[in-house]
Structure 1
Amino acid sequence: MPELAKKKKLQFPNVYVILFACAIVAAILTWIIPAGEFERVTEGTITKVVPGSFHLVEQAGQTPWDVFMAVVTGFKKQASLITMVLFVGAAVSLLEASKAIDVGFRKLAGAVKGKEGVAIFLIMAIMSLGGATGVFGNATLVLVPIGILLSLAMGFDRTLGFAMIFFGSFSGFNVGWANFGTIGLAQTIAEIPIFSGIGARIIFHIVNFLLCYGFVMLYFNKIKKDPTKSLNYESGMELKDYMGDLNAAVDGETKLTTRQLLSLLAGAAGIIAVVIGALKFKWGADQISATFLLVSLVIGLLCGFGVNGSFSHFIKGCSGVVMAAFIIGFANSITVLMSNGKILDTIVYYLSIPINQFGAVAGANFMLLANIIINFFISSGSGQATAVMPIMVPIADLTGITRQVVVQAFQFGDGFTNCIIPTVGSLMGGLGFAKVQYGKYLKWSMPLILVQIVLSFVAITVLQSIGWTGF
């Protein structure tokens, strides 16, 4: 019994404990870091920080009660994303109840038996292209459950399915060359042509994709050789508790019924609608949620569940992903506290000061470092662009750093750490779907992130040394 108690005592805290602890730290920082603000102006649809306008304001330290209120506010601010996670989970649950995914993915897994590396490459390549062009924003989280189900059908774990989708998408998003919400916005604020410098960024994209694909394949080969290396494995688990059924994956006798085929087509139509809507009509989480509500009901009726049964399955499906959805609300409370405590602008301002003290190459590298640090506080790419670019562009002009390099320092700094910071909804929601502890994920993914960051410093050094303008 004492040994069991000791084992429990040494357990890594779950993600809610980690996020709540981070919220407490954020509240403490609002009493330590001076409160300050920049003046902002709106030009068209873009709100910019006015350089040189930073000023201290009255301290707005957050109290213990404010921490609990921030959690509530975090849920309210992320209500659209939380709803999307619930509704997507419900749609996938209905497909599972129809057995359509089970049968369809078994046949697909049987077809790629022995060629899993090729299948993973194609899935990640499609996701990467979507990430680079800004198509897969919220859609990344939508597709994680599909990737998980495919991985289980192939006889592997939930983590592999998450990794195929998440690292596929972010291998493109992190260095995206045609994403208006990040690179396009940053270039607009820097007053250089949108998507200029695309040649170099496509090279960065290819390199980053190959890194991420290689990383995922290392994991694939590791769990194929020894399933207990799975991030989903816990001591005492049986193989079936954390890995898919490999024998079922090669069963070629199973056939889809007409109802199941129509259900799969309805699910595919929903995904296609989401991609087109995001690309052409700038759909957000609300439109995606409505789409999957419709898809859920259509699947339920096609499978003969009836109206009552369809809604019962829908609610049951939502309940299965509540943990993933709640992570997003808890994570946002950290940003709420720092924003209410008025320390976000202060952090940005003081990180920008040392850049003036360095030469162009060293200054460009410090810009990258500053953006990496700032991303832990402002995880939104567009939010970070509007906060840092108006400050860093004038500094760059004074120190000889090219504006294109400033944009690239922002993109690298904002991009790579998105895969580890706990305030990124798609990461924490995806881990919730995959049922992976954040601590385990962090330990596993850090080598990749560190390699990416080191290469980004090398790239910034080279780009500034040659005076890269992107033209």
Structure 2
Amino acid sequence: MGKNSAAPQLGKKKWAFPNAFVILIIFCLVAMVMTWVVPAGRFDRVTEGSITKVVPDSFHLVDSKPQNPWDLFRAIVTGFKRQASLIYMTLFVGAAIFMLESTKAIDIAFRKLARAMKGKEALAIFVVMAVMSLGGATGVFGSVTLVLIPIGIFLSRAMGFDNGLGFAMIFFGSFSGFNVGWANFSTIGIAQTIAELPIFSGFGVRVILHICNFILSYFFVLMYFNKIKKDPTRSLNYETGMALGDYMGSTGENEDVSKVKLTVSQIVSLLALVLGIVTVVIGALKFKWGADHISATFLVVSLVIGLVSRFGANGTADGFIKGCSNVVYAAFIIGFANAISVIMESGLILDTIVYYLSIPINYFGPVAGANFMLIANSIINIFISSGSGQATAVMPIMVPIADITGITRQVAVQAFQFGDGFTNCLIPTIGSLMGGLGFAKVQYGRYLKWATPFVLLQIVLACVAITILQSIGWTGL
């Protein structure tokens, strides 16, 4: 009797939040079901210069194209093909970082830096986030954000903290600027072009919004820093039963790192990485480099590290492959995430979603309508995660609505930017988010629980800003 009653207890497992891949598959299934329920529809589009615009009032229903389970699996493969450049970049960056790590150069260098910043960790976080925020606001740190997350992780670990803090410094630093950026052509520039506003007009207000958002983001990350400093088990990386050293870095207090000297090969390896990062930043800023250029740069960095460290041809190749294998999880998440958009595009329901979300705006006054624009864009961002893609899809619709309802075009652009920006820190179709969490080995569900209240606060404050700007008739001219 006792044996039988105990048996069910032995097989009982504690419920665990689904990992990122399970969540993405669920999203894909939901998207597939939506193609059977949501009517298929399309807008007409015209191309003017390099920008493809939606023609307002051109929405029309078309024959449905519901997706089946086989289409879902094909969409996953297509998602990998579409994001191939970003996936390769993730693998190649991971390989370069792994090879540098194997030389012990980055460990020694960051321990020295952490020792110099002892007691000034809050300042170090501020400086790192400020640099990232400026890059995000100007559109420089697009793909580069994902590249720099491993560096943030190394710095955090060297200071004695976890991967989650390193991820947060880089990611929230960059997006504190990107989400309200005043000089990012791929989002604000395209939106203003479609709205027939001067490029980067409204500069002063957006700089103020950027500063406010950066301060808010900094204190959010600082709260996390203070929380895990006081109680390490509240780390995003902590699992029950883990020893402290399994998820928190070591400050090396018992080591005299001042006596440890970097060798010539270690110094050259570090310089190769620094030069690689500088190269991709300049390339992105001046020559509009994308993920392919960044991948090629870090392939060269890997080869240089292998050469100067005397790994030999076989050792360099083996190190490169092993480095790639360490970040396969992060790379694969990016491919799976894109499958959601592929399913909805193939099912012809993306335009329908945009159209029906735009209808209620016509029935509100200008202030309420402007706020609904923000909310609508936040929802649309779940389905169209590309900032430039969302701008070209929604702005041709939002601009005529704004003119009819009395919303200024500059406020309509700002509502788009807020809606497109803040939810980037939550939705699983954002490559830099999911790839960064993969680098940091942070579960998406745990991250979501931590970050959602902060993002909701940002959206509420954005609604306040939109209300004020529309109430004063802000034109930004």
* 1:4 positional shift: 6.1
Provide the rounded CA distance (Å) in 2 between the counterparts of 1:334 and 1:174.
23
Q: 1:344 to 1:218 in 2, by over 3 A?
A: same
Aligned with residue 469 of structure 1, among 462, 467, 475: 475
Aligned with residue 117 of structure 2, among 96, 112, 120: 112
Provide the rounded CA distance (Å) in 1 between the counterparts of 2:46 and 2:53.
5
Q: Do the aligned partners of 2:111 and 2:252 also contact (CA within 8 Å) in 1? A: no
1:345 paired residue number: 351
Q: 1:3 to 1:165 in 2, by over 3 A?
A: farther
1:249-260 equivalences under 5 Å are 251-260=257-266
| SS at structure 2 position matched to 1:122 | helix
1:247-326 equivalences under 5 Å are 247=252, 251-326=257-332
Q: Do the aligned partners of 1:197 and 1:469 also contact (CA within 8 Å) in 2? A: yes
Please tell me whether residue 184 in structure 1 is matched to residue 184 in structure 2. Answer: no
1:410 paired residue number: 416
* 1:246 positional shift: 2.2
Aligned with residue 226 of structure 1, among 221, 231, 252: 231
**Could you state the TM-score of these two structures normalised by the residue count of structure 1?**
0.99
1:96 paired residue number: 101
Q: Give deviations 1:258-281, integer Å, cap 9, x for gaps.
A: 110110000000000000000000
Provide the rounded CA distance (Å) in 2 between the counterparts of 1:2 and 1:405.
60
| SS at structure 2 position matched to 1:85 | helix
Q: Do the aligned partners of 1:260 and 1:303 also contact (CA within 8 Å) in 2? A: yes
Provide the rounded CA distance (Å) in 2 between the counterparts of 1:385 and 1:77.
20
* 1:254 positional shift: 1.8
2:160 paired residue number: 155
Q: Do the aligned partners of 1:379 and 1:424 also contact (CA within 8 Å) in 2? A: yes
Provide the rounded CA distance (Å) in 2 between the counterparts of 1:250 and 1:162.
28
Aligned with residue 86 of structure 1, among 64, 83, 91: 91
| SS at structure 1 position matched to 2:258 | coil
Provide the rounded CA distance (Å) in 2 between the counterparts of 1:332 and 1:250.
47
Name the aligned partner's letter for residue 409 of structure 2: R
| SS at structure 2 position matched to 1:246 | coil
Provide the rounded CA distance (Å) in 1 between the counterparts of 2:382 and 2:176.
19
* 1:250 positional shift: 6.9
* 1:245 positional shift: 1.1
Provide the rounded CA distance (Å) in 1 between the counterparts of 2:390 and 2:180.
15
Q: Do the aligned partners of 1:95 and 1:263 also contact (CA within 8 Å) in 2? A: yes
2:243 paired residue number: 238
1:65 paired residue number: 70
1:447 paired residue number: 453
Q: 1:216 to 1:4 in 2, by over 3 A?
A: farther
| SS at structure 2 position matched to 1:125 | helix
Structure 1: which 4+ aligned runs deviate by more than 6 Å? none
Aligned with residue 76 of structure 1, among 81, 86, 89: 81
Aligned with residue 425 of structure 2, among 400, 419, 422: 419
Provide the rounded CA distance (Å) in 1 between the counterparts of 2:148 and 2:8.
44
Q: How many residues align?
A: 470
Q: Give deviations 1:145-181, integer Å, cap 9, x for gaps.
A: 0100111111100000000000000000000000000
Provide the rounded CA distance (Å) in 1 between the counterparts of 2:249 and 2:425.
25
When structure 1 is superposed on structure 2, of 251-260 and 361-370 the one drifting more is: 251-260
Q: Do the aligned partners of 1:147 and 1:165 also contact (CA within 8 Å) in 2? A: yes
Q: Is there any run of 5+ residues in structure 2 with no aligned partner, and where?
A: 1-6
Once superposed, what is the RMSD of the aligned Cα atoms?
Answer: 1.0
| SS at structure 1 position matched to 2:313 | helix
| SS at structure 2 position matched to 1:252 | helix
1:50 paired residue number: 55
Q: Do the aligned partners of 1:110 and 1:250 also contact (CA within 8 Å) in 2? A: no
| SS at structure 2 position matched to 1:6 | coil
1:319-334 equivalences under 5 Å are 319-334=325-340
Provide the rounded CA distance (Å) in 1 between the counterparts of 2:127 and 2:214.
12
1:366 paired residue number: 372
Aligned with residue 400 of structure 2, among 394, 401, 418: 394
Provide the rounded CA distance (Å) in 1 between the counterparts of 2:270 and 2:161.
22
Aligned with residue 41 of structure 2, among 36, 40, 49: 36
Provide the rounded CA distance (Å) in 2 between the counterparts of 1:281 and 1:441.
34
Q: Is there any run of 5+ residues in structure 1 with no aligned partner, and where?
A: none
Q: Give deviations 1:65-84, integer Å, cap 9, x for gaps.
A: 11111111100110000000
Q: Do the aligned partners of 1:266 and 1:298 also contact (CA within 8 Å) in 2? A: yes
* 1:252 positional shift: 2.7
1:459 paired residue number: 465
* 1:399 positional shift: 0.9
* 1:3 positional shift: 4.8
Provide the rounded CA distance (Å) in 2 between the counterparts of 1:343 and 1:258.
58
Provide the rounded CA distance (Å) in 1 between the counterparts of 2:375 and 2:261.
54
* 1:5 positional shift: 4.0
* 1:2 positional shift: 4.7
2:4 paired residue number: none
Q: Do the aligned partners of 1:84 and 1:289 also contact (CA within 8 Å) in 2? A: yes
Provide the rounded CA distance (Å) in 2 between the counterparts of 1:354 and 1:229.
42
Please tell me whether residue 195 in structure 1 is matched to residue 200 in structure 2. Answer: yes
Q: 1:2 to 1:149 in 2, by over 3 A?
A: farther
| SS at structure 1 position matched to 2:438 | helix
Q: Do the aligned partners of 1:107 and 1:254 also contact (CA within 8 Å) in 2? A: no
Q: Do the aligned partners of 1:106 and 1:250 also contact (CA within 8 Å) in 2? A: no
Name the aligned partner's letter for residue 261 of structure 2: K
2:25 paired residue number: 20
Give me the identity figure in percent.
73
Provide the rounded CA distance (Å) in 2 between the counterparts of 1:123 and 1:254.
25
